[in-house]
Structure 1
Amino acid sequence: MSDIKLVATDMDGTLLNSKHELSNSFLPVFRKLKDQGIIFVAASGRQYYNLLKTLDEVKDEVIFAAENGSYVVYQNEEIHVQDMDQQIVRDLIVKARSIGGTYAVICGKKKAYVESSEPEFIDHLKLYFERYEIVDDLLKVEDDQFLKFTLCDLAGSEGNSYPHYKHLQDTLQVKVSGPIWLDISHKQANKGKAMEVLQEKFGVTFAETMVFGDYFNDLEMLQKGYYSYAMANAHEDIKSVARFIAKSNDENGVVEILSTLVDQTVPSNEQ
């Protein structure tokens, strides 16, 4: 583990606790990572501007792989952008309008776009999107690059909306990214692709990479590092992919492993 050069972690359900808060113990460990020359990547389905706010104290030192890896930025420099065809997004919107309990979101590079101002939906939206606009008709949004299409599914994404889009998995990324979230992106847009771009850019190997995740949008990323950790609270299918298990997000599992890393101690929790 002393050879680790790159650490990437999901945010919600992983680095952040169930209240979507960052542990006070994270920053001291982060400083030690930086002192040891280890690159840190925040890889999330969240919007880039939301991630900047969440990690404000270290925003100039973190690489952001936002919108499930479709938008990778470091120190305001775009490293990787994988947008979607706008007509494809419009087709997804039309389908969403026939699915009860859902609210559609176009995740643009400039901001997110939604049609509904329903308070419960907006409360969920604000957790992950710092910049958004309520528009009359999502089908008329044009002046932006579309990084991702998202459904907030208050009826449960895995059982309610996912079956309506599952057949598109051969041509698009269709991911249940949380209990009420379904994310659809370009086929080449995922956290694993973002990791490949960063590994090539910084000359980091599979064996020198550590990753953390908890849900299906973390799957490809977990396959890009030898030190792959699923959280104790992760979906069971994700646990089956990871090589190691970390304590839950509410037990500060990521920071515990990173503390081990900076102390150069080999972990004992391989599956």
Structure 2
Amino acid sequence: MERLSDYLVFCDMDNTLLTAKEGIPSCNRAVIKLFISLGGQFTVASGRPPESIRAALGDIRLSLPAISCNGALLYDFQTNRVLRHTTLDRAQASAAITEIMQKFPHIGVEVMAGAGEMYVIRANPYTHAHQVDEHLGSVACPMEYLPDGWLKVVFAADPETIRKVGQYAKTRYYGRDNYFLATNQIYLEIMPTGASKASAMEELCLLQGAKLRNTIVIGDYYNDLEIMKKAGYSVSVANAPSEVRAAADEVTNCGCTEGAVGEYLYKLIDRVTSV
């Protein structure tokens, strides 16, 4: 017999579950709590570090560890413990940062290290907005004084500059232990090779003794495509680009700010509990 507890739901945060300006719609918050209270397993898969996730979720208590920093970090909020982290090769990432900063003098640069602590190498209006919108504490620090254990690098700028940086990065080789990932129109990241939302979901399923076919992923952007394809079932919110909507098994009727996540979860609750 089908049960809500059979399903592991992985939900992207920004522009899927919430927006930085408006937060989580009340209907999303209410239905997530209902889903969890009925035995459903719910967590987030986000580029945000743990403390930003915690601030955004507020009184929502995840029933599974969170995929943080786009998969470089698995974090258990119930025990406040890092379960797994994957780090960049510092020398390779440093070479990329140095060259890109020289080529694009107005690019903002952040590094997340340790358990997701953020260090700002070069500030600009976009790094400032990132900190404010996602409730991120940060330390301004020259690159050579950063602690080890880099989880990811974030380049922040206007969409046109980010597009040009992405094109430039494709022409360069900074080693085999990293890759570039566009996570938003205003962010381009350097991630450790092998770290992704999809690989973190697979690892979490192993830790939980769960099957991938029982996973459900809700997303909105190109960096969600890999985990959506890996999941047993994928859902795109209505505000996603057409390529993301086309790749999903289901598209919600409403967008992020109207409560797309709540819409889907309530449908799932109704289907399973009405049987």
Using the alignment, how far apart are the partners of 1:60 and 1:213 within structure 2? 17
Counterpart amino acid of 1:44?
S
Structure 1 counterpart of 2:111, from 80, 103, 106: 106
More helix by percentage: 2
Q: Which runs of 5+ in 2 are unaligned?
A: none
242 and 141 in structure 1: CA distance in 2 versus 1, 3 angstrom threshold: farther
Structure 1 counterpart of 2:152, from 115, 134, 148: 148
- 2:35 aligned residue: 33
Q: Which runs of 5+ in 1 are unaligned?
A: 267-271
- 1:124 aligned residue: 130
How far apart are residue 59 of structure 1 and its match? 4.3
User: Normalising by the residue count of structure 1, what TM-score does the alignment of the two structures yield?
Assistant: 0.87
1:112, 1:133 within 8 Å by CA — same for their partners in 2?
A: yes
Task: Pick which of 182-191 and 110-119 moved more.
Answer: 110-119
The 5-angstrom pairing of residues 10-159 of structure 1 reads: 10-17=12-19, 19-59=21-61, 61-74=63-76, 75=78, 76-97=80-101, 98-110=103-115, 111-128=117-134, 130-135=136-141, 137-138=142-143, 140-156=144-160, 159=163
Superposed CA deviations along residues 83-140 of structure 1, whole A, max 9, x for unmatched, are: 11111221121122112542111111251111334445312333235221012x22x1
User: Normalising by the residue count of structure 2, what TM-score does the alignment of the two structures yield?
Assistant: 0.86
Counterpart amino acid of 1:262?
I
1:17, 1:252 within 8 Å by CA — same for their partners in 2?
A: no
Count of aligned pairs between the two proteins: 264
Counterpart amino acid of 2:96?
L
1:157, 1:178 within 8 Å by CA — same for their partners in 2?
A: no
Using the alignment, how far apart are the partners of 1:44 and 1:11 within structure 2? 6
Task: Pick which of 240-249 and 39-48 moved more.
Answer: 240-249
Counterpart amino acid of 2:208?
F
- 1:250 aligned residue: 257
38 and 250 in structure 1: CA distance in 2 versus 1, 3 angstrom threshold: same
Q: Secondary structure at the match of 2:122?
A: coil
How far apart are residue 157 of structure 1 and its match? 5.7
Q: Percent identity?
A: 24
Using the alignment, how far apart are the partners of 2:162 and 2:3 within structure 1? 39
How far apart are residue 190 of structure 1 and its match? 0.6
